[in-house]
Amino acid sequence: MKLGYIGRRSIFDVVKRIAFNIALFEKGDITVVDAGIRERGDIVLRCGDYRCVALEMFTSLPRILGGGKLGVDLGTSKNGVVYVWSGEPLLHAVLDWPSVEAILKNTNNLEVHIGASPYVDVKKAASLLNCNKVRLVDELTASWSRRWLRGKYPYLEEDEIDALSFTYYDGIAASIC
């Protein structure tokens, strides 16, 4: 899956920090366009800061592709979020809780994998999914793939590596209504 970007270089630098495989000034399978440019695209970005671009990408891309997996590593101050489609990681970000909350509220047709540990309030995140099923993945079990993922994606932060590792495990399916 190749993402293309058309727009200002400053916003591309932000998108590049979130997307795994994106090309500047090219159309791809999915094209991301800066709203300041009069060009048509699949995803139109009306903002340029990291948080806003991440929210737009994480809510728009799964809707366009129709499904996939969302890995979430909940933390006390920052949270890792990763979107995987057909086994290929497409998006990654480290976000604050209000941003993760907005992404979880807008998930449709996604398998959500959340790391479960005694230090995390999984119920709070799962309650945002409107009674949809969530997969709770034991963080200790998923930690076995961290080293391999860190070698494959050395530019990802620890929270993003954890979120990505959760998508590789089925975990326990739960629905909190």
pLDDT tens for 11-34 read: 999 999 999 989 888 888 899 999
At the fourth CATH level, the homologous superfamily of domain 3-174 is: YqgF/RNase H-like domain (3.30.420.140)
* pLDDT tops 80 at residue 45: yes
pLDDT band at 170 (very low <50, low <70, confident <90, very high): confident
Q: Name residues whose C-beta falls within 8 Å of residue 170's C-beta, 6 or more positions apart in sequence.
A: 135, 137
Those residues with Cβ within 8 angstroms of residue 49's Cβ, 6 or more apart along the chain or in another chain = 14
Q: Which of the 8 DSSP states describes residue 45?
A: E
Give the pLDDT confidence score for residue 123 in this predicted structure.
Answer: 66
Q: What is the pLDDT of residue 174?
A: 67
Instruction: Over range 27-54, report the average pLDDT.
Output: 89
Q: Sketch the domain layout of the chain as residue ranges.
A: 3-174
Model pLDDT, residue 11: 93
pLDDT higher for 131 or 162? 162
3-state secondary structure of 70: strand
104-160 pLDDT per residue, tens: 888 878 888 888 876 776 667 766 666 577 888 888 888 888 899 999 999 999 999
CA distance 77 to 133: 25
Tell me the pLDDT tens digit for each residue of 76-102: 789 999 999 999 999 999 999 899 889
Average pLDDT over residues 59-84: 91
Give the model's pLDDT for residue 159. Answer: 92
